[in-house]
Amino acid sequence: MGVAHTGESVPEPFNIQVPTTPTVFKMWTYGAKRNSELKTFRRMTLAEAKALSSGDHIWFIAIDGTARRLKVNGRVRRWRRSPDRFEVPVKYGMREYAAFDNTDLIRMLVELSTPKSPQ
């Protein structure tokens, strides 16, 4: 039940371009208007996520699209049988705790340091 290709162009609704995610991008950080800043980030790699230790700070993309800073709240769990699997316990604010795993790796960010301009 295939459709024969006639050489015609694909109609506009079906000509979908999938956007590629950039390796370096800028996002607004979470906070009040006076505390929000535009920072440069890149996605965290699997090796960087596995190398985190307690007390490190990481950034992630929240549901509202802003970047938020978290603190690693314990050791990173790794599995011998599945070397690509990990779990990072994190803390946000005063009372919010969570754990990031492989499904959340796309939301984890690394802030790129910007050189300070001499003044």
- Contact predicate 100/108, CB 8 Å: yes
pLDDT of residue 64: 83
Q: Binning pLDDT at 50, 70 and 90, where does residue 74 land?
A: very high
Position 66 scores a pLDDT of 83
Give 89-101 pLDDT, tens digit per residue: 999 988 899 999 9
CA 59 to chain centre: 7
Q: pTM higher than 0.85, yes or no?
A: no
Q: List the domain boundaries for the chain.
A: 22-111
Count the Cβ atoms, other than its own, within 10 Å of residue 44. Answer: 21
The answer to whether 28 and 36 are in contact (CB under 8 A) is yes
Per CATH, domain 22-111 is 3.10.310? no
CA dist., res. 117 & res. 73, Å (int): 33
Confidence check: pLDDT of 26 > 80: no
Tell me, what's the pLDDT at 57? 94
